Amino acid sequence: MDELLLRSLTPKVLGILVRRGADFAAAEDAVQDALIEAVRVWPAEPPRDPKGWLVTVAWRRFLDMARADAARRRREELLDAEPAPGPAPEVDDTLQLYFRCAHPSLTPSSAVALTLRAVGGLTTRQIARAYLVPEATMAQRISRAKRTVSDVRFDQPGDVATVLRVLYLVFNEGYSGDVDLAAEAIRLTRQLAAAIDHPEVAGLLALMLLHHARRASRTTADGTLVPLAEQDRGRWDTGSIAEAVEILQAALARDRLGEFQAQAAIAALHADALTAEETDWVQIVEWYDELARLTDSPVVRLNRAVAVGEADGARAGLAALAELDDTLPRYAAVAAYLHERDGDLATAARRYAEAARQAPNLAERDHLTRQAARLNTRRRS
């Protein structure tokens, strides 16, 4: 059974059903039923036309559900006109499905869940396991999201920026359960890049590939975090890095800079350095300046303070940091790092301990706690 094929066909089949007049929520349920039937039937009887098979089964399932619903009896004339089985039309509504699933009226968590199911072809159970929530909770979230976007027309323009933010949210969830969400986000972004010629889509794909290329070196076997400067660069995926750089260079050449291209440029500079000491921090600061101009994000300015500390010295980094709100997430961790670079071990140890108490996850908390303990040991020796 080719699960990747099934998932790649999901948005195309869903788009065909909606274009035929099916309600989005019911069509999505019908497609999920067809996928389940494919998993049962295809190993013994593989179809000659997988997409056509899925369209036929999903459409019949939709008819069955609609006929059983008294509230939809007014649609019987449409539903009785079942198209004859045969090759499915080549119209691809994948891009419109991305826009629908990332509709501004949805919360980020609902948009992510709906994208994974309607475009990614994942089951509710798989999505629930990936997000470590009960299946019933995820089912309710997806149902509400489908009701919200059911009346969104396919001919309405979509917001590419919203779609990209949703995909980046998926990517940043990383891996949990039986679904690798980082890999799934890359697959979906590749699919989007094939459907739309947009430099920011290319920028996001490049950014994902660059981050993913370092995945094997980010933690030890027991789950301990490894900072970028200490990672074994021999374990980085050079093939993914080369692909990402090529994609990014083509996007930048179009002279329509966006935030994902700028982030990818920063990641590419890190990937280009054979050792941490060879990192071109001056150029990274310049890219952070561009990114801050594009986003006006305090988080970007926080990361910029680290880069300034590397390029111009810890005192310069602390000066840049002092301009920011000290309640920002990870502010204490950045302050600790820069104070350590400046030789103030007591302040650094105290800020590492503070950052550990504020850490968003166990792995980060343990890492920061170890940093504080390391400096306290140094001070006593």
In this predicted model, what pLDDT tens digit does every residue of 39-79 receive, in sequence order? 888 988 889 999 999 999 999 998 888 777 654 455 444 44
Render pLDDT for 103-157 as a digit per residue (tens, 0 to 9): 888 888 888 888 888 888 888 888 888 777 899 999 999 999 988 888 776 555 5
Q: Which of 47, 49, 51, 70 is nearest to 59 (CA)?
A: 51
Higher-confidence residue: 249 or 74?
249
Yes or no: say if 367 and 358 are a contact pair by the CB < 8 Å rule.
no
Q: Locate 177 and state its tokens.
A: 């359960």
Fold type of domain 297-381: 1.25.40
Higher-confidence residue: 264 or 194?
264
d(CA 215, CA 231) in angstroms, rounded, equals: 10
- Where exactly are the structural domains of the chain? 3-90, 297-381
d(CA 47, CA 112) in angstroms, rounded, equals: 31
Confidence of residue 5 (pLDDT cuts 50, 70, 90): confident
Q: Which of 235, 215, 222 is nearest to 366 (CA)?
A: 222
Q: Which of 40, 39, 41, 35 is nearest to 17 (CA)?
A: 35
d(CA 144, CA 142) in angstroms, rounded, equals: 5
Query: Is pLDDT at 287 greater than 70 in this prediction?
Result: yes
Yes or no: say if 261 and 200 are a contact pair by the CB < 8 Å rule.
yes
| Structure-derived torsion over alpha carbons of residues 239, 10, 143, 172, reported in degrees to the nearest 10 | 0
d(CA 289, CA 206) in angstroms, rounded, equals: 20
pTM of the prediction?
0.80
Q: Locate 145 and state its tokens.
A: 């999201």
Query: Is pLDDT at 373 greater than 90 in this prediction?
Result: yes
* Residues 6+ away with beta carbon under 8 Å from 269: 279, 280, 283, 284, 287
d(CA 80, CA 161) in angstroms, rounded, equals: 40
Yes or no: say if 101 and 111 are a contact pair by the CB < 8 Å rule.
yes
Identify each DSSP E strand in 119-205 by its residue range: 175-176, 179-180
Q: Is 209 exposed, middle or buried (0-12, 13-18, 19+ CB in 10 A)?
A: buried
Q: How far is CA 32 from CA 58, 113, 334, in A?
A: 8, 14, 46
**pLDDT number for residue 85:** 52
Question: DSSP for 17-60?
Answer: HHHTT--HHHHHHHHHHHHHHHHHHTTTS--SSHHHHHHHHHHH
Q: Produce one character per residue of 116-135: b if its CB has 16 or more CB atoms within 10 Å, e if not.
A: bbbbbbbbbebbbbbbeeee
Render pLDDT for 79-109 as a digit per residue (tens, 0 to 9): 444 554 555 444 456 777 888 888 888 888 8
Confidence of residue 377 (pLDDT cuts 50, 70, 90): very high
Q: Locate 308 and state its tokens.
A: 């300034």
Higher-confidence residue: 281 or 161?
281
Query: Is pLDDT at 366 greater than 90 in this prediction?
Result: yes
Q: Name the CA radius of gyration of the chain, rounded.
A: 24
Average pLDDT, the chain: 87
d(CA 24, CA 150) in angstroms, rounded, equals: 5
**pLDDT number for residue 98:** 83
d(CA 139, CA 124) in angstroms, rounded, equals: 6
